[in-house]
Structure 1
Amino acid sequence: MIEIKNISKSFNGRQVLHDISGTFEKGKTSLVIGASGTGKSVLLKCMLDLIKPEEGQVLYDGRRFLLQEEKDKKDIRREMGVLFQGGALFDSKTVEENVRFPLDMLTDMPENEKRDRVEFCLHRVGLDGTGKRMPSEISGGMKKRVGIARAIVMNPKYLFCDEPNSGLDPLTAIKIDELIKEITDEYQITTVVITHDMNSVLSIGEYIMFLYQGKKIWEGDSQSIMKTHIKELDEFVFSNHALRQLRDGH
């Protein structure tokens, strides 16, 4: 479980996050949603300790991450997997080298165990036989799958996905959502997805936090989000014409 408590952050006097609190539970796909510029990525960076909030705490299973000594922070970071926006693969490394990179950097695992783990993770995301390819030789959807394989190669307790569907066609995006949900369920990971994709919200949103101008103004699930009467949230949700028709019963 991950808890964020009263997170606030400003840049050059401009408040970007205002007193954000929430709980992301083990085994659930939790989504942080909102339009561009609402503070979603800043919140993620605060949770990863890439940005220091002025106020607030981030707790990983009760451990106050931001207050830990650097050695203890490294131990918690080893329990994290991150799928960066765009995949963020190393162009000069093969698919299998990309996936094994965290194992090389963070473990003393024997070579044969690394090979087995990489092979298993590539199999789990449906990429058997692609290990020797370069990122330039695979599609955008496959790159996201490689990114997921790399994110889970350390068998993480916590998985973070930053806009996992950006740049993907709708069908591929659905498959990536399904894969994230399957992995979360199968390994009982605490998963946090940053997105503005309403298809993701409706298909995998077991817990949803909506940010508007740096404030949390709603939280709930994929069923209740369709029935709110919060103006800012309705505008975000029903900006999609098809969803408006669904709501209005057409």
Structure 2
Amino acid sequence: MIEFRNISKTFGERKVLDDVSGIFEKGKLSLIIGGSGTGKSVLLKCIVGLIKPDVGFALYDGRNFTEGDESTKREIRKEIGMLFQGSALFDSKTVEENVRFPLDMLTNMSMSEKMDRVYFCLKRVGLEQAGKRMPSEISGGMKKRVGIARAIVLNSQYLFCDEPNSGLDPLTAIRIDELIQEITYEYQTTTVVVTHDMNSVMGIGDYIMFLYQGKKVWEGNKNNILETQEPALKEFLFCSQLIREMRK
């Protein structure tokens, strides 16, 4: 479980996050949604330590990551897997080398142990035959799956995905959602997804947090989001549906 309390962050004169608190539960898919510039990615980065909040902190199963000592932070980092928006693969490394990178950086495993783990994870995402290929030789959807394999290679307890469906066609996006969902339930990870994709919201949203102008203004799940009376969320849902209809 991840709990974060009173997170606020200001850049210059602009307050991007304003006293945001919440809980992401183990074994569930928690989604952070909202329009562009509402603070979604900044909140995620504050929680994983890429940005230090001005106020507030994040707890990982009771351990204070934001304010903890370096030993505590290093311990928690080993349990975090991250799928970045653009996959963030190393162009000069093969698929297997990309997946192995966290093991090289954070473990003392032997090379044979690392490779066993790498190919276990590649098999889990359906890419066991692609280990020797370069990122330039695989599709966008495959790059996302490589990113997921790398994110879980350390037996991650916490999985963060920043816009995992960006740049993907609808069918591939659904498959990525399904893969993230399978891994969450199978390994009982605490999974957090930043997205604006309503197909993801309605498909995998066990818990949904809606941000508007840096504040949390609604929380719920995929079963009750369409019943909301929150004006900003209703507008967001209407615009998302309109855009989907226009793209058909």
Seq. identity, % = 71
1:166 lines up with 2:166 in the alignment: yes
8 Å CA contact 1:238–1:244 kept in 2: the answer is: no
- Contact 1:9-1:16 at 8 Å conserved across structures: yes
Please report how far the alpha carbon of residue 241 of structure 1 lies from its aligned counterpart in structure 2 after TM superposition: 3.9
Distance of 1:243 and 1:65 partners within structure 2:
39
- How many residues align structurally? 245
C-alpha separation in 2, matches of 1:69 and 1:80: 17
Partner of 1:248: none
Instruction: Read off the aligned partner of 1:87 and give its amino acid letter.
Output: S
Alignment correspondent of 1:32 = 32
Counterpart Cα distance in 2 of 1:167 and 1:2: 29
Q: State the 1:70 CA deviation.
A: 1.2
Matches within 5 A, 1:111-122: 111-122=111-122
1:116, 1:128 → 2: CA distance? Answer: 11
Question: What is residue 56 of structure 1 aligned with on the other side?
Answer: 56
1:9 aligned counterpart, secondary structure: strand
Query: Secondary structure of the equivalent of 2:66?
Result: helix
Q: Does the CA contact (< 8 Å) of 1:4 and 1:23 recur in 2?
A: yes
Aligned partner of 1:110 in structure 2 is 110
Q: Within 2, Cα distance between the matches of 1:121 and 1:91?
A: 20
Correspondence for 1:44: 44
Q: Does 1:223 align with 2:223?
A: yes
Distance (whole Å) between structure 2 residues aligned to residue 207 and residue 237 of structure 1: 16
Deviation track 1:189-217 (CA, whole Å, cap 9, x = no partner) reads: 00000000000000000000000010000
C-alpha root-mean-square deviation of aligned residues, in Å?
Answer: 1.3
Q: What is the match of residue 148 of structure 1?
A: 148
CA offsets 1:85-109 (integer angstroms, 9 cap, x no match) = 1100000000000000000010000
Aligned to 1:78: 78
Give the SS at the match of 1:175: helix
Indicate how the Cα distance of structure 1 residues 244 and 78 shifts in structure 2: closer, same or farther if over 3 A, else same. closer
What SS does the aligned partner of 1:8 have? strand
| 3-state DSSP of counterpart to 1:239 | helix
The answer to whether 1:180 aligns with 2:180 is: yes
One-letter amino acid matched to 2:73: K
Structure 1 residue matching 2:193: 3-state secondary structure: strand
Contact 1:3 1:59 in 2 (8 A): yes
Distance change (3 Å), C-alpha of 1:230 and 1:81:
same
In structure 1, the residue matched to 2:214 is 214
SS of the equivalent of 1:66 reads coil
User: How many angstroms does 1:184 deviate by?
Assistant: 0.2
Provide the TM-score with structure 2 as the length reference. Answer: 0.96
CA drift of 1:111 comes to 1.1
Name the amino acid aligned to 2:158.
Answer: Y
Runs of 4+ in structure 1 deviating by more than 2 angstroms, as ranges, are 240-245
Cα gap change, 1:244 to 1:42, in 2 (>3 Å): closer
What is the distance in 1 between the residues matched to 2:74 and 2:241?
A: 46
Deviation of 1:71 (Å) = 2.0
Query: What aligned pairs does 1:128-143 form with structure 2 within 5 A after superposition?
Result: 128-143=128-143
CA distance in 1, matches of 2:241, 2:46: 34
Q: Secondary structure at the match of 1:238?
A: helix
Structure 2: runs of 5 or more not aligned: none
Q: Partners in 2 of 1:240 and 1:89 — Cα distance?
A: 30
